[in-house]
Structure 1
Amino acid sequence: MPTNKKEGIIFTTLMCFSMVLGMSIYNLFLHGGFSFVALITGLIPGFIVAFILDVFVIGVLAKKIAFSLPLNKDNKLVMILTISCLMILGMVTCMSLFGVLIEGGIPNDLGGAYRHAWAMNIIVALPLQLIVVGPFSRAILGKIQTNAATAETAE
């Protein structure tokens, strides 16, 4: 986990970008419109919205809720999984609406389109985050922390 502001920004950026990339690829294939151009044009605004939500809304709420639950706060795995699951729920809830609206404006059946998008996104976002993106991002952060500690010791 990040130990300072710089590490927090790096970790959040890596996690957010990886999730938006993975979910963008999934949704483009799901809707039969995958192309590199479509990926890039959706990835950039998707990343910006997801990053803002992560840093200022969902991340704050997820951590606040996780630390208020009657869990063993000393167990890192329990806290990582709890925060990750809460983040996934929050981000899928918000980004599914973003996806529905960006795809073609407000549909006639916004509620139905949103529920369908949410259901289709949660089934991929959950394993993507818990099995791929989360461990990958934590491994990269661990390497950064190790390199920083090595550089600090060498000085």
Structure 2
Amino acid sequence: MPRTKKQELIFSLLMVFFMVYAMVCYNIALNMGGMNYAVFGAAFHELIIMYPIAFLLDFFFVSHIVKRTAFKIVDPEKENPFHLVLAISAITVMWMCPLMSLAATLLFKDAGINVIPVWIQTIAMNFPMAFFWQMCYAGPLVRFLFRKIMRQS
């Protein structure tokens, strides 16, 4: 886990990339009626917009709330430190999914006067994917890459 501001920056840049790219691919696939190779390329167009939004939200707002909340739930001195990792991951998704779903609703969905219902539907569609992608794939992969990068620096 990151210990310095520089490490937090590197970790956040990596995590946001893997989460946003996967979620953009997922949403494009939903809109296209399924996954195909075109989704991967199309995702880069939305990534250019969604990546900075997600990074700014995560790094300057959500991560502070997440850490405070996670340390209230888990005491790493008394519990397995991995419980803290799980808490941070889960709470991050609980915050970022609604925020990023709102951004996607406003930017990419022609919701008109139905912004709130479309936003709620978007959260409902995105949350299971975001949660399991974070817990099972993006989280472990980014922690692995982060350890490799920090050993080399």
Decide whether the 8 Å contact of 2:62 with 2:92 is kept in 1: yes
SS at match of 2:32: coil
CA distance in 2 between counterparts of 1:13 and 1:26 reads 20
Runs of at least 5 residues in structure 1 that lack an aligned partner in the other structure: 149-155
Q: How many residue pairs get matched?
A: 147
Post-superposition shift, 1:122? 0.4
Partner residue in 1 for 2:61:
57
Q: Which structure has the larger Rg over C-alpha atoms? A: 1
- Across the aligned residues of Structure 1 and Structure 2, the Cα RMSD in angstroms comes to 1.6
2:36 matches 1:32: no
Matches within 5 A, 1:120-139: 120-139=125-144
SS at match of 1:59: helix
SS at match of 2:112: coil
Post-superposition shift, 1:37? 5.5
- Distance change in 2, residues 1:137/1:37 (3 Å): closer
- Identify the match of residue 79 of structure 1 among 80, 84, 94: 84
- Identify the match of residue 47 of structure 2 among 43, 47, 53: 43
Decide whether the 8 Å contact of 1:107 with 1:113 is kept in 2: no
2:130 matches 1:111: no
One-letter identity of the residue aligned with 1:78:
H
Identity of aligned residues (%): 32
Partner residue in 1 for 2:23:
23
SS at match of 2:142: helix
Decide whether the 8 Å contact of 2:105 with 2:122 is kept in 1: yes
Between 1:107-116 and 1:19-28, the stretch displaced more is 107-116
Between 1:2-11 and 1:43-52, the stretch displaced more is 2-11
Between 1:103-112 and 1:57-66, the stretch displaced more is 103-112
CA distance in 1 between counterparts of 2:146 and 2:134 reads 15
Partner residue in 2 for 1:96:
101
Post-superposition shift, 1:17? 0.6
